[in-house]
């Protein structure tokens, strides 16, 4: 799970992370802790959509000073019970009709622009909210239209969802929008469980000492993410790696080409993270399960899970 989160921080174009697993395995805790690891972004001061340039600030946002500031990368929670207006934003129709002004109250999508949008229990999300997210994820633009008025703004974010598969399945259309998927299981060995309890106890009883202990490691990881972002542009991708991507997806019966594209981006991100200058077959193998596991058609005759099927096919196709 940590690897998947780091890869999307290096290359947001990978397309987000879906975390499925048992209750109480720290899925939500891990996602929310991501905010502390993300490098800051540069944005126009006071801009409600975190615009990187003054000319990108929406006209409805009003005049801005033009000053550029550093701010934390936004990680925004989308609650299950959120209304459509809270998600996309709300137009003040009365003010528009009486004063002729476009009065717009930005929603969660505006706040998440250039950051992360997190949905806990994503498989229980209402269908009409799912449809909204699909439209915005496709276009990168949030459009709100009411009574002949239209407001639009950039809405490019990394979608992160978590949930328990026992509580319901995720719609295939939304499932395909997640670049990577991860399955989290409860640890089966005593040592790991004891370490979890020990760290949680230290966090609750001596928070200051706990944070001080881990702050150095967090800073080192943040620095490594920034270095990997810069290295992405210089990475070499041999033709054989492209061939391997296509061969693996054909062997798995993956629909469309999104699987290959995501697999390649994820492999490039992990290569940059490890300091390599060339993408290798070994990098593909490391990310194949998370990039392709949720894109497989169900095989009623194969009792193994999708992750096992991908791992088996990787060994057969890419020895």
Task: Give the active site residues.
Answer: 258
**CA distance to 43, 99, 168, 311, per residue, from 262 (Å):** 28, 48, 25, 17
Phi, psi of 120 (to 5 degrees): -80, 145
Bridge partners of 42, per DSSP, are 70
Strand pairing category for 149-154 and 41-44: unpaired
Residue 282 makes CB contacts below 8 A (sequence gap 6+) with none
Q: What is the DSSP string of 263-300?
A: HHHHHHHHHHHTT-SB--HHHHHHHHHHHHGGGPPP-T
Strand pairing category for 180-184 and 157-163: unpaired
Decide: 268 and 232 in contact? Cβ < 8 Å: yes
Beta strands in 155-281 (DSSP E): 157-163, 180-184
> What distance lies between CA 146 and its chain's CA centroid?
30
Decide: 40 and 70 in contact? Cβ < 8 Å: yes
Beta carbons within 10 angstroms of residue 182's beta carbon:
23
27: three-class secondary structure by DSSP: helix
Phi, psi of 54 (to 5 degrees): -60, -35
């Amino acid at each position: 799970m940590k690897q998947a989160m780091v890869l999307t921080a290096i290359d947001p174009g990978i397309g987000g992370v879906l975390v499925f697993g048992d209750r109480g395995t720290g899925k939500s805790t891990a996602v929310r802790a991501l905010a502390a690891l993300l490098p800051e972004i540069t944005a126009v001061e006071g801009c409600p959509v975190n615009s990187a340039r003054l000319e990108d600030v929406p006209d409805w946002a009003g005049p801005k000073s033009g000053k550029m500031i550093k701010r934390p990368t936004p990680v925004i929670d989308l609650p299950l019970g959120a209304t459509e207006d809270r998600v996309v934003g709300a137009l003040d129709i009365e003010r528009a009709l009486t004063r002729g002004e476009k009065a717009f109250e930005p929603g969660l999508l505006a706040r998440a622009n250039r950051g992360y949008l997190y949905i806990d229990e994503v498989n229980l999300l209402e269908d009409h909210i799912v449809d909204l997210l699909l439209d915005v994820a496709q276009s990168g633009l949030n459009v709100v239209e009411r009574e002949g008025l239209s407001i639009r703004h950039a809405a490019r974010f990394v979608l992160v969802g978590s949930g328990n598969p026992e509580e319901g399945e995720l719609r295939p259309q939304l499932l395909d929008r997640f670049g990577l998927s991860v399955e989290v299981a409860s640890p089966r060995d005593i040592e790991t469980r004891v370490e979890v309890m020990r760290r949680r106890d230290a966090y609750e009883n001596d928070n200051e000492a706990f944070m001080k202990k881990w702050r150095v490691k967090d800073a080192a990881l943040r620095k490594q993410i920034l270095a990997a972002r810069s290295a992405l542009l210089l990475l070499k991708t041999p033709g054989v790696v492209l061939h391997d991507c296509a061969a693996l997806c054909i062997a798995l019966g993956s629909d469309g080409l999104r699987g290959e594209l995501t697999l390649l981006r994820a492999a490039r991100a992990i290569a940059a993270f490890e300091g390599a200058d060339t993408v290798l077959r070994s990098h593909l193998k490391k990310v194949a399960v998370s990039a392709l596991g949720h894109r497989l058609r169900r095989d009623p005759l194969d009792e193994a899970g999708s992750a096992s099927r991908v791992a088996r096919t990787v060994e057969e196709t890419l020895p």
